[in-house]
Structure 1
Amino acid sequence: MPLNPSAMTEATRLTREGKLAEATDLLRSVLGGTAPPPPAPPPPAPPRPAAAGRPAPRILDVDPETGEVAAPPSSRLRGLLDGLAAKLPGGLPGAGRSTPPEPLPPGARFLSLSHGGAAGTRGYRLYVPARPAAAPALLVMLHGCTQSPEDFAAGTRMNALAEQHGFLVAYPGQTQAANAQKCWNWFNAADQNRDSGEPALIAGIARDVLRDYGADPKRVFVAGLSAGGAAAAILGQRYPDLFSGVGVHSGLACGAARDMPGAFAAMRQGAAGQPGRPVPTIVFHADRDSTVHPRNAAQVAAQAAAPGLRATTTQGQVPGGHAFTRTVHADAAGRVLQEQWLVHGGGHAWAGGSNAGSYTDAKGPDASAEMVRFFLAL
Structure 2
Amino acid sequence: MKINEGFLAQMREAARILQSEGPMAATAAIQRALNGAGAPEQTAAPADWTRYLPKAPEPDGSPAPHVPETEAGAHPHDRMRAQLHRFQRAWPGAMADLEVEDVQAREVVDLAGKGRFLSGSCTSHAGTRAYKLYVPSGYTGQALPLVVMLHGCTQHPDDFAAGTGMNAAAEERNCFVVYPAQTKGANASNCWNWFNASDQRRDHGEPAIIADITRAIIRDYAIDTGRIYVAGLSAGGAMAAVMGATYPDLYAAIGIHSGIPYAVAHDMPSAFAAMKSRKLKASARKTGCKPARPLGHAMPVIVFHGDCDATVDCANGEQALAQCVPSPGAGGKTESGRIPDGRSYTRTVVHDAQGKVVAEKWIVHGAGHAWSGGSSRGTYTDPQGPDASREMLRFFGAHGRNRTAA
- Normalised by the length of structure 2, the TM-score is 0.68
2:182 counterpart (174, 182, 202): 174
1:338 and 2:345 equivalent? no
SS of corresponding position for 1:217: strand
1:322 is matched with which residue? 343
Count of paired positions:
294
What is the CA–CA distance in structure 2 between the aligned matches of 1:286 and 1:43, rounded to whole Å?
43
One-letter amino acid of the structure 2 residue matched with residue 365 of structure 1: P
Matches within 5 A, 1:13-162: 45=70, 63=74, 101-103=108-110, 108-132=115-139, 134-162=142-170
Unaligned runs of 5+ in 1: 1-38, 47-60, 67-98
What is the CA–CA distance in structure 1 between the aligned matches of 2:156 and 2:349, rounded to whole Å?
32
State percent identity of aligned pairs: 52
CA-based RMSD: 2.5
1:279 counterpart (278, 299, 307): 299
Distance 1:189 1:323, change over 3 A: same
SS of corresponding position for 1:160: helix
Contact 1:283–1:341, Cα closer than 8 Å, also in 2: yes
What is the CA–CA distance in structure 2 between the aligned matches of 1:254 and 1:156, rounded to whole Å?
23
What is the CA–CA distance in structure 2 between the aligned matches of 1:104 and 1:349, rounded to whole Å?
19
Task: After TM superposition, give the deviation of residue 44 of structure 1 in Å.
Answer: 5.2
One-letter amino acid of the structure 1 residue matched with residue 215 of structure 2: R
| Structure that is richer in helix per residue | 2
Deviates more, 1:276-285 or 1:226-235: 276-285
Task: After TM superposition, give the deviation of residue 65 of structure 1 in Å.
Answer: 7.7
Contact 1:190–1:196, Cα closer than 8 Å, also in 2: yes
Contact 1:272–1:300, Cα closer than 8 Å, also in 2: no
Matches within 5 A, 1:177-196: 177-196=185-204
Distance 1:174 1:155, change over 3 A: same
One-letter amino acid of the structure 2 residue matched with residue 298 of structure 1: E
Unaligned runs of 5+ in 2: 1-46, 48-66, 78-105, 285-289, 400-406
Matches within 5 A, 1:190-269: 190-269=198-277
SS of corresponding position for 1:216: strand
Contact 2:111–2:162, Cα closer than 8 Å, also in 1: no
Distance 1:328 1:231, change over 3 A: same
What is the CA–CA distance in structure 1 between the aligned matches of 2:362 and 2:328, rounded to whole Å?
20
What is the CA–CA distance in structure 2 between the aligned matches of 1:321 and 1:230, rounded to whole Å?
27
What is the CA–CA distance in structure 1 between the aligned matches of 2:372 and 2:113, rounded to whole Å?
29
- Normalised by the length of structure 1, the TM-score is 0.73
Contact 1:138–1:220, Cα closer than 8 Å, also in 2: yes
2:322 is matched with which residue? 302
One-letter amino acid of the structure 2 residue matched with residue 109 of structure 1: R
SS of corresponding position for 1:325: strand
1:56 is matched with which residue? none
Task: After TM superposition, give the deviation of residue 307 of structure 1 in Å.
Answer: 2.4
Distance 1:115 1:105, change over 3 A: closer
